[in-house]
Amino acid sequence: MAVKLPAEWEPQDGVLLAWPHAATDWAPILHRVEPVFVRLVREISRRERVLLITEDASGLKKKLQTRSIDLERVTLAQQPLNDTWCRDFGPLTILTDSGPRLQNFIFNGWGGKFPAERDNAVTETLHRQGLLQGALDSRPLVLEGGSIESDGRGTLLTTSRCLLHPNRNPELSRIQIEDTLRRTLGAQRVLWLENGHLIGDDTDAHIDTLARLAPKDTIVHLACDDVTDEHYLPLARMAEELAAFRTASNTPYRLLPLPWPRSCFDEQGRRLPATYANFLIINKAVLVPTYGVPQDKAALKVIGEAFPHRQIIGINCSEIIRQGGSLHCLTMQLPQGVLP
């Protein structure tokens, strides 16, 4: 059976998103982050459907109606949640000769850092309710969607800092993890980054905060031009690794460096992992996190070079980054054939 994990830029039915509520870490700034979620729902629903998980479906329906959201394009699923990071507990969908199959990996709260039991049950519950179609394969591997990138042609990009961390699958070697990725996701080869991370990142260096695959053998990656910043050397070494990678046809990748956003800090003075690499690709558009800093404009331009036939839309994530993530972390694309 032919198996592939599609690239994010391939046709989508919709996007999975979870609405924040007062029992999540968003509680102190809920009134400030809800407008960002509204904007996200609006931009996605203009181009495809939104499968929106909430703990209060009737209340959220009224809220979205008052904000002129087309509810014909939004499916509300009432379900308990620990948090809202769908990228890491949502399904990874493979395409096969017989249709899509949902790969349901284990989500353990990024190595036991946070409660995750409710989030880990989301994919199975949505499938049981008939909101996701295709066969469901439950896999005994801890794996988050933000930790891998696919070009849709058998190449996966990841980081050893995350996938080989002992808080995920300590009993498995690199070779064993690669073998599992081949069997479950159709990977033909895996490119491992040994360098690169962001201070304040709870994910142990998810690839979607650092480097992203794009069409025509392109990699868009974070770069730091401030030699006094502690990220400078690790990201410079990461860039050297990316330059040494070769495509399946043994040619260098086209590398597009992203600007380094001005440092962001929370109220306690802790550094936040702001990055432009955490963009979301949807049908006909790319949604890009911005932070209200001068580098935003240059970041949008770089991503536009990688996706010249899509509309590039900046969404201010200055409040979202306070919980350590951004647009890609909040969402999981659902490829064509997944939504009924």
| pLDDT tens digits for range 133-179 | 999 999 999 999 999 999 999 999 999 999 999 999 999 999 999 99
- Separation of alpha carbons 245 and 305, rounded Å: 20
* pLDDT for 77 beyond 80: yes
Return the beta strands (E) in 79-154 as ranges.
Answer: 92-96, 99-106, 135-142, 148-150
pLDDT tens-place string over residues 54-69: 999 999 999 999 998 9
- Separation of alpha carbons 323 and 294, rounded Å: 22
CATH-assigned architecture of domain 3-335: 5-stranded Propeller (3.75)
Closest CA to 79 of 124, 113, 13: 124
Please tell me what DSSP assigns to residue 114.
Answer: S
Instruction: List Cβ neighbours of 186 (8 Å cut-off, separation of 6 or more).
Output: 2, 3, 4, 5, 94, 154
pLDDT at position 53 is 98
Q: How far is CA 286 from the centre of its chain?
A: 13
- Separation of alpha carbons 21 and 55, rounded Å: 8
Q: What are the boundaries of each domain within the chain? A: 3-335
Q: How far is CA 128 from CA 94, 98, 133, 179, 320, in A?
A: 18, 20, 9, 29, 31
- Separation of alpha carbons 22 and 225, rounded Å: 39
Task: Please state the pTM of the whole predicted model.
Answer: 0.97
Burial class (CB in 10 A: 0-12, 13-18, 19+), 147: buried
Average pLDDT of the residues in 315-322:
97
Positive or negative torsion for Cα 27, 29, 34, 39: negative
Please report how many Cα atoms fall inside a 13 Å half-sphere around the Cα of residue 181, on the Cβ side.
27
* pLDDT for 1 beyond 80: no
* pLDDT for 262 beyond 90: no
- Separation of alpha carbons 210 and 114, rounded Å: 22
Produce one character per residue of 123-139: b if its CB has 16 or more CB atoms within 10 Å, e if not.
Answer: beebbeeebbbbebeee
